[in-house]
C-alpha cells in the first residue's frame, strides 16, 4: 500500500480550505541552541519529489529539498525561540510558541493548519494535530525539512563563536562528545542550563 502524503491536505481542501499550512519544529531534544519551527504552504500541484520526514533524509538530500521547497512553496514562515526563553517557559511551550511564530510569518496567511504532534498551537485558525505528521502529511514533512536545515545552519554558525563544543557536528544534541566538552569547558550562553547534561556542571 502506497501512503498518500496529500490525504490530509486533500481532506482540508474538500472542506473548503484553500491555503493549508504544515507546521513542524526542530530542536526539542538538544541541550544547546534554539528551538526552530517552520510553516509551509505548498501549492496543490507541487512538483517537489522526495519530500518526507527530515530524519529519514541525508543532510545533502535535505539541503536539496530545502532549496526546492523555497522555490515552489506559496509561503514559508520561520519561528525561533532562544535558549533563555526555553528556560523561562519550558521546552514544550517554547516549541508551541515557535510554531505560532512560524505561522505568523506566513504571507499570505493560511486558512487551515496541520501540526506535527499531539498539541494544537495558540492561534486563531482551524487546525489539526497529527501524531507522526511528518511521515503522514506532505506539508508537515516539508516544514520538518525547512526547520531542520534552518536550525542546523544556525548551529553551524554558533560553532564559529564557540568552537570548543563541536556544534557543527552534533548541532547541540547531547552526544558523548558534547557532554564531555560541557564538563571540560562549562556551559556557554546558548546552553540550556536546566537540561540534563548541562545542569550538573553548574
Q: Tell me, what's the pLDDT at 2?
A: 56
Contact between 177 and 170 under an 8 Å Cβ cutoff? The reply is: yes
Domain ranges of the chain: 7-158
Sequence-separated (6 or more) residues with CB below 8 Å from residue 88 = none
Predicted pLDDT of residue 3:
77
Neighbours of 175 (CB within 10 A): 16
The one-digit pLDDT tens for each residue of the chain (202 residues) are 557 999 999 999 999 999 999 999 999 999 999 999 999 999 987 889 999 889 999 999 999 999 999 999 999 999 999 999 999 999 999 999 999 999 999 999 999 999 999 999 999 999 999 999 999 999 999 999 999 999 999 999 999 999 999 999 999 999 999 999 999 999 999 999 999 999 998 8
Q: What is the pLDDT of residue 185?
A: 97
Asked whether 33 and 190 are in contact (CB, 8 A), the reply is yes
Fold assignment, 7-158: Nucleotidyltransferase; domain 5 (3.30.420)
Reported pTM: 0.97
Residue located via cell numbers 510558541: 97
Amino acid at each position: 500500500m502506497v501512503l498518500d502524503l496529500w490525504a490530509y491536505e486533500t481532506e482540508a481542501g474538500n472542506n473548503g480550505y484553500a491555503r493549508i499550512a504544515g507546521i513542524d519544529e526542530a530542536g526539542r531534544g538538544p541541550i544547546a541552541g534554539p528551538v526552530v519551527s517552520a510553516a509551509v504552504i505548498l501549492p496543490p500541484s507541487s512538483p517537489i519529489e522526495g519530500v518526507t520526514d527530515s530524519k529519514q533524509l541525508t543532510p545533502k538530500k535535505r539541503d536539496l529539498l530545502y532549496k526546492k521547497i523555497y522555490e515552489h512553496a506559496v509561503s514559508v514562515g520561520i519561528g525561533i525561540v532562544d535558549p533563555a526563553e526555553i528556560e523561562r517557559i519550558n521546552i514544550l511551550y517554547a516549541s508551541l510558541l515557535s510554531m505560532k511564530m512560524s505561522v505568523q510569518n506566513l504571507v499570505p496567511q493560511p486558512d487551515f493548519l496541520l501540526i506535527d504532534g499531539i498539541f494544537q498551537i495558540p492561534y486563531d485558525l482551524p487546525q489539526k494535530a497529527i501524531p507522526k505528521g511528518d511521515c503522514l502529511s506532505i506539508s508537515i514533512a516539508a516544514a520538518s525539512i525547512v526547520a531542520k536545515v534552518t536550525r542546523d545552519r544556525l548551529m553551524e554558525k554558533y560553532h564559529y563563536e564557540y568552537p570548543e563544543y563541536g556544534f557543527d557536528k552534533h548541532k547541540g544534541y547531547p552526544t558523548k562528545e558534547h557532554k564531555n566538552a560541557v564538563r571540560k569547558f562549562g556551559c556557554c550562553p546558548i546552553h540550556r542550563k536546566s537540561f540534563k547534561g548541562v545542569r550538573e556542571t553548574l
